[in-house]
Chain A
Amino acid sequence: MIKKALTLLLLTLAASTGWAQNSYIPYKTFDGEHKNEISGYVMGGNNVVTDKFGGLEVSYTRHLTPRWHVGGDAQMQFGKELFSVDVQGGYRLPIKWGNISFDGKIMYNFYHKFGFHEMSYNISATWESAYVDFRLGETLVHYHSHVWGMGWGYTETPLLTFGFGVNIRHRDNPWNMGLFFRNYDDFYYENWNINWGIRWYAKVKERWNLFGEFNIRPAGSMSQLASKYEGSVKLGLKYKW
């Protein structure tokens, strides 16, 4: 009964805002004043395969112009023994109901625990409005074992990348929180495994923002048998100048 009620609430929220805008990237969006952003977060969680894990992440974004930005991210996750770096860039097109951003990202993951190297190439378009965000894109993922004698690995068929988020306050508000549904996170892209959760941010000083996420990542979503796979929290700080 509780499961049904919660599902009903989430579906209702999603459906009632479904005509709206873009994906949640509040700490990457140009505010019209600051050209540099640096942020970092600590994370911790539990994964069915790797058990408890924790990690550190750092990001840097440079707004070259009010429209163009480039940046990079890196993380280390202990427990999972996952090491990641990425570079990304994008173009923001202001429209009447918010922004449409076109982004590209190249990401490398090393799953040391399993001996797998993974490269991901993503392009996506994000529609971001005052309360809602929506992202659609394509991702190409290639992975191979660290034992090169085993062959050149496997390139997955292009994955549809999608995300949807809704906030309770206007995006310019000093604090905000909301819900998200998506098949990716900062350092992975999935096929039809949809993770969902709660996100928030709050301005603590003129140049400082706190942000965080609670992320539920089930397995088997589109097999209609979503099962406990991973839960994690992130807590971060962003500085802009």
Chain B
Amino acid sequence: MKAKYIFIAALAAVAMLNTSCEKVSPQGVLMGNTGVEDRVKMSELYFKEYLMSSTNNIYVRPKENNDYSYSFLVGADSHLTTDPGRMDEMFALGLENDDLLYCHLGDIADTKPEYYIVLDSLIKKAKERYVNKYYELNDLNRWREKIDPYDMIGSAYDDIKFPFYPVVGNHDLTHNGWALWSNIFHSSFYEFDVNCGYDENGVPICDHFIFLDTASGTLGKRQVELIEEGLLDGENNYRHTFVFGHTNIFLPSSMEFASTFPREQTYFLLKQFDKWNATIVFCGHVHKWDEQLFNAVYFLTLDSMSERNSPKPGDYLVRINVDKDGFIDLEKVHMNYVAPKK
């Protein structure tokens, strides 16, 4: 009798392990596919080679009367498959509102090559719309910003940075998805400044944007070392610091079936946010809206913007408006896209 149960259990286990659903990886409960240490090693090389330069900083387009106010849009857990509707809507909303940049909190696409082809194509189209709105060709047939008509040198199309900044999520990595994700976005952690003009003494006013690789529920040993060494601290005194990561710090309710950070990792991060003097920490992962104030840091956990997880129209995006004096206003942004019925 016992042998029968063992046989049934073994069959069930084999079936679970061989499940190929794009969202489920049962063996990952005990052992993961893609190590955070490997991701961080690759990302460290890319970050130090290409992303540490001040050329990656973003400059706010000044409005009249030295008004350097700006806004940015944040979304989470799009779990894109073959339907890019919600991601496309996010870019359209950002473009329509003249948001300075768009941030994504991970789980951007479920891990299949064809989904990443859809995503890559979508980002290329969004960049075309972005360039057409803010750039024009100069006499040398190169692109210059429309607000800078005297730019005779301009830029090649490929050198124009489309301001989309994602972090990596756990579903981006199951089924060995790192190869797909890194092929488009390259580094799983990075930081840059947003320059917002100058104060009365001529000192630049900067806000700091930090993106962490938290997809594995831990930063990993090397990322912890890099943070302790100050790699992501930036070079300026910052007015605001915004931190973006996938895994949520706080659980919105007790029965959310998703791992948060282990104890030491949680306390390390909370201490680090305090050290960075963070204004807002953005997280996703758990597919539930949550807001907390802890140690004078505001924590926002965003709901999933995926049309499968959140099929009805709703306020799935967040827009942060930073006015010319640095005051912050949080605005929930409504999404209307509904997937067509099959």
Q: Could you list which residues of chain A lie within 8 angstroms of chain B, going by C-beta atoms?
A: 3-4, 6-8, 10-12, 15-16, 18, 47-51, 80, 111, 114-116, 118, 143, 145, 147, 150-151, 153-154, 156-160, 188, 190-194, 196, 217-230
Contacts and interface: CB of A to CB of B under 8 A. Distances in A.
B169 to A, nearest CB: 9
A143 B13 CA distance: 38
Interface of B: 2, 5-6, 9-10, 12-14, 16-17, 24-37, 170, 173-174, 215-221, 224, 247, 250-255, 257-265, 267-268, 270-271, 274, 285, 292-296
Contacts of A18: 9
B264 A220 contact: no
B265 A49 contact: yes
A133 to B, nearest CB: 18
Contact of A12 (B10, B25, B37, B274): B10
Contacts of B253: 157
A-B interface, 5 closest residue pairs, ranked by CB to CB distance from nearest: A220-B217, A15-B9, A224-B28, A114-B267, A219-B218
B264 A223 contact: no
B16 A11 contact: yes
Nearest to A109: B263
A229 B29 contact: no
A6, A7, A150, A194 pick with most chain B CB within 10 angstroms: A7
Given A4-B27, A16-B5, A159-B254, A227 B295 contact: no
Nearest to B228: A49
A237 B322 CA distance: 60
A167 to B, nearest CB: 16
A52 to B, nearest CB: 11
B221 A48 contact: yes
B171 to A, nearest CB: 8
Q: Of residues A111, A145, A194, A226, which shows the largest number of chain B Cβ atoms within 10 Å of its Cβ?
A: A226
14 contacts: A8-B17, A12-B13, A16-B9, A48-B265, A49-B219, A49-B264, A191-B260, A193-B217, A219-B259, A220-B32, A224-B28, A225-B28, A225-B217, A227-B218
